Structure 1
Amino acid sequence: MQPADVEAGQAFLCVIAREGELHHGAGEVTLVLIPRQMLKLADALKAAPFGVTTGPDPALDILVAHARSLLGRPLPPALALFCESGLLGLLAFAAGPGGNASARSPDARDARDALYQEILLDIAANCSRHDFGVSQVAQRHRINVRTLQKLFQQHGTTLKEHLTWSRLQLARSALADPANAGKKVSDIAFEAGFNDIATFNRLFRRTFGRTPSSLRQANGAG
């Protein structure tokens, strides 16, 4: 990784292949670490060059401020999913094409950012609904399907992929909750918005690297 100069108080995005070293002077450094399993659907980061992305970027500033506000705060599963979706959306935006603030029109960027964040929050709140999909989201936010799809493509993913990821996160939280120990995995999958248990099991294992049952056992929830 090539050295890069970062001014004090400036947020930056660092994408590394295996390991890296951070050298800094006196002062405080806030690190927001993103687990690999969270990034499987964040294609924008897969395409990002290895190294440090510098330069002022409002998305990164908001990401750091949001992360700091969550430190040490226990969150219920639904709220944790809500916050996680927002953090990942900000990260994907900063890493995506034209992610640097200087390369975007402020008015257009702000409007797209606001709409995208609004949609992410809507998905987090309604992903468990079985009738919730691309056409429903487009209608709810009064935009056509093509515009909606392009909005997510600009952030390195698709709405369908993000919706699936949100449902998987919801199911994972439910499986780890001891209060659901008496529920079948299939019931939890259905409550998270999945219609087919085989598809759910396949996607869950591909995303988290383990089966729903093994995650539940590891967390002592069943």
Structure 2
Amino acid sequence: MQPVVVEAGRAFLGVVARAAELDYVAGEVTLVLLPRSALKHVDALKAMPFGLSAGPDPALDILVSHAAGLPGRTLPPALALFCESGLLGLLAFAAGPGGSLDVRSRDGRDTLYQQILLDIAANCSRHDFGVSQVAQRHKINVRTLQKMFQQHGVTLKEHLTWSRLQLAHSALADPANAAKKVSDIAFEAGFNDIATFNRLFRKSFGRTPSSLRQGSGPD
């Protein structure tokens, strides 16, 4: 088979049935491997051949950034499920309009939950996007919405905050944003208070935003 050539800084999405050969320029490559069992939740990936995605994809960039912070960490079961949901949500979003999640449920609540995860991934940077807005957009009352997330071991507010932190993490790690202030990146990711952002970022990633940008290790 012909090798797939991967350009520097390029994220791609593909399904490998048996084997694949990658050619890439000197440097580092990050592979995010998901088990085949996970792909059953994403219709667009079931018949997708191995190959490069159509072009730069913010969802894939965030997914890689998200996954890169997980190896070597021991997560509580609830947080592990939360991270898994986030990765699958980003994967489905990157798969395109045809990548609707196919999560079987008698009452449709699991499907709605996955749709809400995608909505949050796409809109979490908005400062006016909160619990009540999510409930209104999906025509569900706030109490039911909160219970839906609690059943997955996390609150909606926690998930929204984590999604914003992931956006900020990806932006801080991007050399194209080197001239931007940390406070500007935090604001663009949906945060209003820089002190709160710094505290939550360090708690979540084990390092400050500035140390991530400078490429130093955990604080």
Q: What range describes the TM-score normalised by the shorter chain of this pair? A: 0.5 to 0.7
Contact 2:86–2:117 (CA<8 Å) still a contact in 1? no
Q: Which of residues 70, 86, 89 is equivalent to 2:85?
A: 89
Q: TM-score, normalised by structure 2?
A: 0.59
Q: Which of residues 110, 113, 116 is equivalent to 2:113?
A: 116
Change in 2 beyond 3 A, CA 1:67/1:165: farther
Please tell me whether residue 139 in structure 1 is matched to residue 118 in structure 2.
no
1:89 CA displacement = 1.5
Q: Distance in 1 between matches of 2:201 and 2:142?
A: 27
SS for the counterpart of 1:167 is helix
Q: Any gaps of 5 or more consecutive residues in structure 2?
A: 1-17, 20-31, 68-81, 89-103
Q: Distance in 2 between matches of 1:31 and 1:202?
A: 30
Q: What is the match of residue 207 of structure 1? A: 204
Which letter does structure 2 place at the counterpart of 1:122? D
Q: Any gaps of 5 or more consecutive residues in structure 1?
A: 1-26, 34-57, 93-104
Please tell me whether residue 217 in structure 1 is matched to residue 218 in structure 2.
no
Contact 1:32–1:67 (CA<8 Å) still a contact in 2? no
Please tell me whether residue 173 in structure 1 is matched to residue 170 in structure 2.
yes
Larger RCO (CA under 8 A, 6+ residues apart): 1
Which letter does structure 1 place at the counterpart of 2:106? D
Q: TM-score, normalised by structure 1?
A: 0.58
Q: Distance in 2 between matches of 1:127 and 1:187?
A: 16
CA deviation string 1:162-203 (max 9, x = no partner):
000000000001001111111000000000000000000000
Q: Distance in 2 between matches of 1:59 and 1:72?
A: 20
1:90 CA displacement = 7.5
SS for the counterpart of 1:186 is helix
Q: Distance in 2 between matches of 1:75 and 1:67?
A: 21
1:75 CA displacement = 5.5
Percent identical residues: 69
Please tell me whether residue 76 in structure 1 is matched to residue 57 in structure 2.
yes
Q: Distance in 2 between matches of 1:130 and 1:162?
A: 15
Structure with greater helix percent:
1
Change in 2 beyond 3 A, CA 1:143/1:76: same
Which letter does structure 2 place at the counterpart of 1:62? H
